[in-house]
Amino acid sequence: MEKVRRLEVETLLASPIVVPESTPVSKVVGILRNKDAYEAFIEERERIRMVMIRDLLKSTNIYNEKVGKLAYHVPALTPRTPLVQAAQLMMEYRIRALPIVEKDKLTGKVDEASIIRAIPEADLNKYRAQDIMTSHPATLAGEDKVAKARTLMVRRRIDHLPITQDEKLQGILTSSHIVFSLFQPSDTPSGQKTMIAEIQRNLDPPVTSIMDTRPLACSPSDHIAQVLHEMANTNATYSIATQVGEIQGIITYRDFMKLVTETIVKGEMPITIIGLPDDPFEAEQTRTKFTRSVEQLCRSFPYIEQAKAIIKTTDQGSRERKRYEVSVTLVTPKKNFVYTDMGFELANIFDELSNHLKAMIAEKPSRRGSESIRYEEPGP
């Protein structure tokens, strides 16, 4: 991952789609579909605004509404901005691309896909799908309406919804499927494209009417290098982790970006945290607690070569109630120590981490509740 950290955004410069703010939403939809793109930029005198396909879901009249109403300001980068900083901003704003400005002019963009492709395969092969996937993603049943999918994507700020039948994966619905289904061009005597007058007519059908019936899937045990390769080959922005047909999780570009943004290098030893909470305060608190625990541990056991924490979050029937499973791996020359714990308070788990890690590496484990410890032979 150190190679990616040394790169600057100019190494991955791509051409942006730029539209005037007065452009009708329907025209932007057509441009994005024809260009196979996800976002467009609006260039202003001092700032840049952006609109993504997911933002277009909010439009109630894509024929008359202007795209400027849905666009919002985003941070602008320079060609010398480090890639890791670009990745951190994308994670923070939950966006897939950022504009690159030079001499007050929009000269390009950098996006998630290009950053992820820059990660060496050797780094990707350290992880499996189950290490980075978002567990228990939101899903819909085949009979659910497109309108419900639209509402869920806007509220949760997501672009992918697996569709299930009898708890088995049946298909995938993306924000692009919905947006592009709202824009139904037809030939007219004047040669112009028209819109279906009633948008609601396009939102009433079941999700099965527009979903992809051949979703890209992987096994939780697959190496993520293989997952990314298949995503690139099929031009997909996701892969659904399944076991015996049942959904275990979903991997999107956002999950890969965590590998770029969640590694802290202290001296010669990398400290990696995957699955940090979306809340910036909670994420920083967790990062600080884990880093402090590892640093304290290294004072007693200086031969630790690497520390990694993987946080998996499960919703418990409400937006407020979440259950966390934390897995910590300490790599040493002789063996790898793996410690897991779970609970409803992430802060409490990391507060108690130091003592348990110290007991674990000293091979004096104190078991309590749901925690467990195991030992592994170090990898090559």
The residue-averaged pLDDT of 345-352 equals 88
Mean pLDDT of the chain: 85
pLDDT at 194: 41
pLDDT at 192: 38
- Output DSSP code: residue 16: P
Q: How much is the pTM? A: 0.74
pLDDT at 110: 96
What is the per-residue pLDDT across 4-15, written as a single tens digit (0 to 9) for each? 777 888 889 899
Residue 195 has pLDDT above 50, yes or no: no
Question: Which token pair is 222?
Answer: 């697959």
CATH 3.10.580.10 intervals, the chain: 2-117, 129-257
pLDDT at 43: 94
Confidence category of residue 316, pLDDT binned at 50, 70, 90:
low
Write down the CATH number for the domain with range 129-257.
Answer: 3.10.580.10
Greatest mean pLDDT among 197-206, 273-282, 298-307: 298-307
Confidence category of residue 129, pLDDT binned at 50, 70, 90:
very high
CA angle 16, 20, 26 (to 5 degrees): 90
How many C-beta atoms surround the C-beta of residue 295 within 10 A? 15
The DSSP secondary structure of 131-157, one letter per residue, reads HHSEES---EETTSBHHHHHHHHHHHT
The residue-averaged pLDDT of 25-50 equals 93
Q: Which CATH superfamily is domain 2-117 in?
A: CBS-domain (3.10.580.10)
What is the per-residue pLDDT across 156-188, written as a single tens digit (0 to 9) for each? 899 999 999 988 999 999 999 999 987 655 433
Share of the chain above pLDDT 70, in %: 86
Domain 262-376 fold = Double Stranded RNA Binding Domain (3.30.160)
Q: Which residue has the higher pLDDT, 3 or 367?
A: 3
Is 166 exposed, middle or buried (CB count within 10 Å of its CB: 0-12, 13-18, 19+)?
Answer: exposed
Share of the chain above pLDDT 90, in %: 47
pLDDT at 224: 95
pLDDT at 149: 95
- Euclidean distance between CA atoms 290 and 300, whole angstroms: 16
Token look-up 């910036």 returns: 280
Residue 371 has pLDDT above 80, yes or no: no
Confidence category of residue 36, pLDDT binned at 50, 70, 90:
very high
The residue-averaged pLDDT of 96-107 equals 93
pLDDT at 193: 42
Confidence category of residue 141, pLDDT binned at 50, 70, 90:
very high
- Residue 90's contacts (CB-CB under 8 Å, 6 or more residues apart) are 96, 97, 98, 112, 257
